[in-house]
A and B are shown apart, each in its own frame.
Chain A
Amino acid sequence: MSETWIILGASSSMARAFTRKLAERGDGVILAGRNPAELERDAADARVRGAALAETVAFDARDPASFDPILDRLTAQEGTLSAAVFVGSMPPQADIDADPSLIAGVATDSFTGPAEFLHRLAPMIEARGAGTVVGVTSVAGDRGRIGNYVYGAAKAGFATYLSGLRNRLARSGGHVVTVKPGFTDTAMTWGMKGMFLVAAPEKVANDILNAVDKRRNVIYTPLLWMAIMAIIRAIPEPIFKKLSI
């Protein structure tokens, strides 16, 4: 049966790399984001690479009114429906410290917006008895650190939501993959200092697709981050609070 993916935040480099892999194996893709002209070029790329269908829809995590037309479009699509969420925002922690009202936007972009969308999509996956949800969170969600704990908190919230959604969808044949990338070479990290083990978006996309095919639950990409975060999580709080890592 044909599979159609809704890609939220489709013009990020990680989403683009993942979309290309789906397209090259003949899946359908519906690309959702805020810049229609840009998405149209990404859709063209998917079509040339062999996507069964490649369309664009307007999506804004901060505007729930944008969700319904997308869900209507998905209802009309036959076959298995799957979703991949690449949205999120990470203003510099210093900007947030100067203007704490930014926190609501970060939480909406990285957690509550996509969660609301997925919550509306979930009954469709349940009804069809199949479908995969890929949720991209971050290693930053594994422990609050001085450098980006607002972003980390939003991603932690999203990761917990995904865990619950997995629990729910597993009852009806659906599946949820939680993806925790480490540092990835994207526009968001361009020029950022102190990065190491930086992965190419293509590597992350490869790991995600493998996880989808093998129905993995939670993955770290690259894998080494699993060990790194295990260590970071194991540091006792009395010590951790004095570190700046």
Chain B
Amino acid sequence: MQWKIAEYAGWGRVVRARGTLARPENLPALATALAGRGPAIGNRRSYGDGPLNDGGAAIEMTRMDRLLAFDPETGVLEVEAGATIAELLRVFAPRGWMPAVMPGTGFATVGGCIANDVHGKNHHNAGSFGQHVLGLRLMTDQGPREVRPEAEPALFRATMGGQGQTGAILSAKLQLQPVPGQRMRVKETRIRDFDSFLAAFDSSQAEYTVGWIDATKRGKRLGRGILEEGTLAEGGRPGPRRRAITVPLDAPRLALSWPVVKLFNAFYISRIPDTSRKRTRPLEEFFFPLDRIYDWNRLYGKRGFHQFQCVVPLDKGPELKAILETIAKAGIASPLAVLKKMGPGRAGHLSFPMAGYTLAVDFPARKKVPAIFAKLEQQVLDAGGRLYFAKDALAHPDNIAAMYPELSAWRAEIAKTDPDGRLATDLVRRLNLRTVA
């Protein structure tokens, strides 16, 4: 059966869509499905409405996931868009190569990584995912088309981070990165407060850095947490591949209530000795720490959750501290709060990264969340920062142009590639990305 009618959602499960879905497994089926003209979607690891097309059609690319060509000398891989990042890591790490940029979940597809121009724990060194894309094959109105950054810079920049609006991404040529072994040496350090955190990021020399924050703490202990610094190391896998756990049912609301989160966070931070600790971990456990719980989003219950992720420029540390203060005061944060320093690397007009600090915090869906989010959004705007489309379900359309100064250049390109707006998603419509308000 080519199409089915289904209700589906992004990872946060708050916003839902009802529409027809196809999941082609070969090129003829893919061509037929794309002729029905909806956006292509991946594994729906974006949190909000980016991968949704309510009332319309969408084409799931997850079964178009073949490795097409690999050169073991240069590390150039050509791969269909539905392949996941975890699969590439699993197949190529034993041969000494891995994706140069990996997001926090290995379930993200190559197409999704391009459409959101994702970043990883090495963004300060390696830049964004799109900066390692050597070319791609795009299904446009006029049929398939090869897009290389040097030959068609405008279309390429509109596609990187372009929310799939230039056409369905069929396959991509990626420059993989050499990897000396299959292990990561990780140093975990307790950080006392927010200012120390920024200082720790500024002085860290590690290839991979990420900070976990206890977003329940206020006042003097605002921003306390754990800094993880990773360095690739030689040697085989430390320990066997562990099996994924599944969450059998939607958790009750109590599971991630404020007192439980506080307790969990206190426990989590107490694992790290006062000085610091070092351990060696398998690559995928470092890169995708939550993937072991296959459907951890169900822990937030059936109402789902939001993630707020912003980035502010390097000199806006105090403003970011105020944003964290707003979150801590609101008393709705979950255990998942992440701080990271970013470099300037970005590949597209609508790419999220900028040189600065990014903060990501999960909120269980509650009545008061939209109001708190609106306040946070204003603070981000005032700090000259921006919100991340891959996480968003709540941003206001009027603020997008200020956050994304290249929006008009992107619009000009999209007007050429998809003039009738047939690839629009719920996010694109909600934020008026394609139309001048």
A residues sitting closer than 8 Å to B (CB atoms) are 11-13, 16, 24, 35, 37-38, 41-42, 44-45, 48-49, 186-187, 190-192
21 A-B contacts (beta carbon < 8 Å) = A11-B25, A13-B25, A24-B91, A35-B26, A38-B28, A41-B66, A41-B68, A42-B66, A44-B66, A44-B67, A44-B68, A44-B69, A45-B67, A48-B70, A48-B77, A49-B67, A186-B25, A187-B1, A187-B24, A190-B4, A191-B5
> Which residues of chain A are within 8 angstroms of B391 by Cβ–Cβ distance?
none
Q: A41–B27 Cα gap in the complex (Å)?
A: 10
Q: A190-B1, A191-B3 are in contact. Are A45 and B66 (CB under 8 A)?
A: yes
B27 engages A49 (CB within 8 Å)? no
Residues of A within 8 A of B24 (CB): 187
Q: How far is the CA of A113 from the CA of B402 in the complex (A)?
A: 64
Enumerate chain A residues within 8 angstroms of B29, measured Cβ to Cβ.
Answer: 187
B141 CB, nearest partner CB in chain A, Å: 22
Q: Quick check: is B303 within 8 A (CB to CB) of the other chain?
A: no
CB distance from A18 to the nearest CB of B (A): 14
With both beta carbons as reference points, the residue of chain B lying nearest to A12 in the complex is identified as B25
Q: Could you tell me the distance in whole angstroms from the C-beta of A48 to the nearest C-beta in chain B?
A: 4
| Closest partner residue, chain B, to A41 (CB atom) | B66
User: Does A37 contact B27, Cβ atoms closer than 8 Å?
Assistant: yes
Q: Which residues of A contact B67 (CB under 8 A)?
A: 44-45, 48-49
Q: Tell me which residues across on chain B come within 8 A of A48, comparing CB atoms.
A: 67-70, 77, 91
Q: How far is the CB of A101 from chain B (nearest CB, A)?
A: 22
Beyond A13-B63, A49-B91, A192-B1, is A187–B25 a contact (Cβ under 8 Å)? yes
Beta-carbon contacts under 8 Å, B17-68 to A: 22-29, 63, 66-68
Kindly list the 5 A-B residue pairs having the minimum CB-CB distance in the complex, ordered from nearest.
Answer: A191-B4, A45-B66, A48-B67, A191-B1, A48-B70
Specify the main secondary structure of chain A where it touches its partner.
helix
B125-172 interface with A by 8 A CB criterion? none
Beta-carbon nearest neighbor of A39 in chain B:
B26
Residues of A within 8 A of B28 (CB): 35, 38
B70 touches A38 (CB 8 A): no
Number of chain B residues whose Cβ lies closer than 8 Å to a Cβ of chain A? 23
Q: How far is the CA of A186 from the CA of B25 in the complex (A)?
A: 9
Closest B residue to A186 by beta carbon equals B25
What is B's interface to A at a CB cutoff of 8 Å? Answer: 1-6, 22-29, 63, 66-70, 77, 80, 91
Taking the closest CB of chain A, its distance from the CB of B216, in whole angstroms, is 38
- Please, which residues of chain B bring their CB within 8 A of the CB of A191? 1, 3-6
In the bound complex, what is the Cα–Cα distance between A124 and B102 (angstroms)?
A: 48
Residues of the B chain whose Cβ atoms lie less than 8 Å from the Cβ of A190: 1-2, 4, 22-23
* Separation of A49 and B1 alpha carbons in the complex (Å): 30
Residues of A within 8 A of B66 (CB): 41-42, 44-45
Query: What 5 new A-B contacts, CB under 8 Å, besides A44-B67, A191-B3?
Result: A41-B68, A44-B68, A48-B68, A187-B1, A191-B5
**B182 → A minimal CB distance (Å):** 16
A11 to B66, CA, bound (A): 11
**Smallest CB–CB gap between B225 and chain A, Å?**
36
B388 to chain A, nearest CB (A): 30
- Of all chain A residues, the one with the shortest Cβ separation from B26 is A38
In the complex, residue of chain B having the shortest beta-carbon distance to the beta carbon of A24: B91
CB distance from A210 to the nearest CB of B (A): 15
Bound Cα distance A37, B67 (Å): 15
Contact of A45 (CB < 8 Å), options: B4, B6, B26, B68: B68
**Chain B residue at smallest Cβ distance from A13:** B25
A34 → chain B, closest Cβ, in Å?
11
Q: Which of A37, A44, A48, A187 has the most CB of B within 10 A?
A: A48
Report the separation of the CA atoms of residues A199 and B25 in the bound assembly, to the nearest whole angstrom: 16
Contact of B27 among A16, A24, A38, A187 (CB under 8 A): A38
Cα separation A16 to B25 with both chains bound (whole Å):
10
How close is B13's CB to chain A, nearest CB, in angstroms?
Answer: 20
B195 CB, nearest partner CB in chain A, Å: 47
Shortest A220–chain B CB gap in Å is: 21
B99 to chain A minimum Cβ distance, whole angstroms, is 15
Residue of B nearest to A44 (CB): B68
Shortest C-beta distance, A88 to chain B (Å), equals: 15
The chain A residue with its CB closest to the CB of B24 is A187
Q: How far is the CB of B432 from chain A (nearest CB, A)?
A: 33
> How far, in angstroms, from A49 to B26 measured CA to CA in the complex?
19
Residues of B within 8 A of A38 (CB): 26-28
* A11 CA to B2 CA, complexed, in Å: 16
Q: How far is the CB of A158 from chain B (nearest CB, A)?
A: 23
Q: Which residue of B22, B24, B27, B66 has the most chain A CB atoms within 10 A of its CB atom?
A: B66
Q: Which residues of B contact A192 (CB under 8 A)?
A: 1
Q: Residues of B contacting A13 with CB < 8 Å?
A: 25, 63
Q: How far is the CA of A163 from the CA of B67 in the complex (A)?
A: 36
* Nearest CB in chain A: distance from B65 CB, A: 9
What's the nearest-Cβ distance from chain B to residue A57, in Å?
Answer: 17
A44 to B77 alpha-carbon distance, docked (Å): 12
**CA A44 to CA B6, docked complex, whole Å:** 33
How many angstroms from the CA of A245 to the CA of B173 in the assembled complex?
Answer: 48
> B363 to nearest A CB, angstroms?
31
A11 cross-chain contacts in B, Cβ below 8 A: 25-26
A11 to B25, CA, bound (A): 8
- For B64, the closest partner residue in chain A by CB is A41
Compute how far the CA of A16 lies from the CA of B77 in the bound complex, rounded to whole angstroms.
20
Q: How far is the CA of A190 from the CA of B77 in the complex (A)?
A: 30
The distance in angstroms between the C-alpha atoms of A91 and B26, with both chains bound, is 19
Separation of A192 and B29 alpha carbons in the complex (Å): 17
Q: Give Cα A186 to B28, complex, Å.
A: 16
Residue of A nearest to B83 (CB): A45
Chain B nearest CB: distance from A87 CB in Å? 15
- Which residues of the other chain, B, contact A44 by a CB distance below 8 angstroms? 66-69
Residues of A within 8 A of B1 (CB): 187, 190-192
Which residues does chain B contribute within 8 Å of A16, judged by CB atoms?
25
**B26 → A minimal CB distance (Å):** 5
Contacts of A35 in B (CB 8 A): 26, 28
What CA separation (Å) do A24 and B92 show in the bound complex? 11
**Cα distance A45–B68 in the bound complex, in angstroms:** 5
Q: Could you tell me the distance in whole angstroms from the C-beta of B226 to the nearest C-beta in chain A?
A: 34
